[in-house]
Structure 1
Amino acid sequence: MDRRELSALAHADHPISAPLSDSTVEHLLRRAIRGQNAHLLDLGCGDGTWLLRALRARDGATAVGVDISGAGFDDVLGEAARLGLADRLELRRQDVAEYRSDRKADLVLSVGAAYAFGGLLQTLQAAREHLAEDGLLLLGDCFWEREPDPAVRAAMEDGPQKFADLPTTVAQVVADGWTPVYGYTSTIAEWDEYEWCWTGTLAQWALDHPEHPDRDLALQMSADHRTSWLGGYRGYLGFVVLLLRPTPAQA
């Protein structure tokens, strides 16, 4: 079992892989989906939970989710079949940066998946390629609520993706040719719920499976994540979801 699979286990009690409550997710989907027959594309869909919830709320909508992991796909597809939605949901195990389709989406979602593209601007470019004319992008990404300790910043930005403060993040999106038509910033309560679920669910799994060969790794991964959160980025790292439309070119 690799770390990606262990991370999927950690999300069992909070399948939305972002610090967002169930009611917030429903609210965002209501704002984002226009028309009963909308086609949705989720780039970095996790197990597909966002799309399943969207299809339950919108008769006639169709959806494709793409994620390199594929963990949880079977459960979500099974639930879709039980609800009579199987013919409207497709989940593809693939690198999102390599996904191509001739069908454009009325709504592209990419929530907490910018790392898969290498950063915010690369995510915006990928979404633009898949978006139908007059389509919408639901983009979720982290930002710095306040300047963190240099060690915390280094730990959270150890890959190609770097974070800015919220005004700078929004300014970067606007400069790239997008107009925000709605936005939501996660509360500290949503962050805490997400992180306690992440660390606690993984620890619970490890304690329930004492003979599993990855038990110690899971416990260590949970403890390391908890320390990084409570002793590092809690109260510093924020999360924003922006509903975006391409800005029309000026005549």
Structure 2
Amino acid sequence: MERSEIFDIAHQRHPIAAPVAPERLRELIGWLSPSDGARAVDLGCGEGEWLQHLLLDHPGITGVGIDHMLPTTGARRSAERGLSDRVRWIETDAPAWSDGEFDVVLCVGASHAFGGLADMLGAVRRHLRPGGQALVGDSIWESTPSASALAALEVSADAYPDLAGLVRAFHEHGFEPSFGHVSTLAEWDDYQFSWTGSLVDWAVRRAPTTEDRSQALAAARENRDAWLSGARRELGFATFALHDVAAGPTGVTVARTP
């Protein structure tokens, strides 16, 4: 099975590709205020739920969703919601893609595609017009990570910042948070068990071949084991609405404090 197919199946019951509940997604999107005619881009859009809800809230704007492996469900949902004429889905590597500046830049759970948090925030800034808004979500450590958490996730302790470190990174890139949400344990469990459960359900009930069944079950077990054997209660996730404060009210860049 292709990774994109596994990703698509795993998110069937949780199309928000992050440990964020639907009501929290709507709350976060509500902090964005693009004007009619604005353009939005979602870097590493996955299923495209963040971008689609932004478009639903603001009928006068258009959007572009970028991902190197686009699931088919994103385009299907956008058609069902009547958004097909206002959104483009482009399957390409987000770090290499460019189409000018956007009024809103979304990037939730996709820092790995850019090589880490700093490079992701740099990409958000490159795509954002002066004075625009961004919505960024990324992993954090809830506390100093244990050896079991590092082993389960196969990362080093400096792979993610803590919450204060994430906010400092925003400031270093000229952003000021206007609102933030730290995912709860319930949101994490719902996301993780929906992810593995969707794969198990598909493998047992609908897999067309024995090989597909085995691959889907293996992916579910690997993800579940990593979550339960170390990541749970230690790996966190935070999402922030950000204002560009590296530009003055007229879009003129102002000096940053060292």
Q: TM-score, normalised by structure 2?
A: 0.89
Query: Are 1:42 and 2:39 an aligned pair?
Result: no
> Given the superposition, is the C-alpha separation of residues 83 and 145 from structure 1 closer, same or farther in structure 2, using an over 3 Å criterion?
closer
Contact 2:125-2:173 within 8 A present in 1 as well: no
Q: Quote how far apart the aligned CAs of 1:210 are.
A: 5.1
Q: Quote how far apart the aligned CAs of 1:154 are.
A: 4.3
User: What does 1:1-251 correspond to in 2, within 5 Å?
Assistant: 1-72=1-72, 75-102=73-100, 104-156=101-153, 158=155, 162-209=159-206, 211-212=208-209, 213-248=211-246, 249-250=254-255
Which residues of structure 1 form unaligned runs of 5+? none
One-letter identity of the residue aligned with 1:198: W
Q: Quote how far apart the aligned CAs of 1:169 are.
A: 1.9
Cα distance in 1 for partners of 2:81, 2:71 equals: 20
Deviation sequence 1:54-109 (CA, Å, 0-9, x none): 2222111100000000112xx3333433443211100100000111113x211100
Q: TM-score, normalised by structure 1?
A: 0.92
One-letter identity of the residue aligned with 1:96: A
Cα distance in 1 for partners of 2:80, 2:189 equals: 32
> Given the superposition, is the C-alpha separation of residues 42 and 206 from structure 1 closer, same or farther in structure 2, using an over 3 Å criterion?
same
Contact 1:49-1:76 within 8 A present in 2 as well: yes
User: For 1:229, what is the secondary structure of its paired residue?
Assistant: helix
> Given the superposition, is the C-alpha separation of residues 90 and 211 from structure 1 closer, same or farther in structure 2, using an over 3 Å criterion?
closer
Contact 1:108-1:137 within 8 A present in 2 as well: yes
Contact 1:121-1:173 within 8 A present in 2 as well: no
Cα distance in 2 for partners of 1:203, 1:155 equals: 21
Q: Quote how far apart the aligned CAs of 1:237 are.
A: 0.7
One-letter identity of the residue aligned with 2:58: R
Cα distance in 1 for partners of 2:3, 2:81 equals: 31
> Given the superposition, is the C-alpha separation of residues 231 and 245 from structure 1 closer, same or farther in structure 2, using an over 3 Å criterion?
same
Identify the residue that residue 249 of structure 2 maps to in structure 1. none
Which residues of structure 2 form unaligned runs of 5+? 247-253
> Given the superposition, is the C-alpha separation of residues 211 and 65 from structure 1 closer, same or farther in structure 2, using an over 3 Å criterion?
closer
Contact 1:19-1:190 within 8 A present in 2 as well: yes
Q: Quote how far apart the aligned CAs of 1:24 are.
A: 0.7
> Given the superposition, is the C-alpha separation of residues 55 and 171 from structure 1 closer, same or farther in structure 2, using an over 3 Å criterion?
same
User: For 2:178, what is the secondary structure of its paired residue?
Assistant: strand
Over the residues paired in the alignment, what is the CA RMSD in angstroms?
Answer: 2.0
Contact 2:34-2:61 within 8 A present in 1 as well: no
Moved more, 38-47 or 145-154: 145-154
Q: Quote how far apart the aligned CAs of 1:121 are.
A: 0.6
User: For 2:129, what is the secondary structure of its paired residue?
Assistant: strand
Q: Quote how far apart the aligned CAs of 1:29 are.
A: 0.8
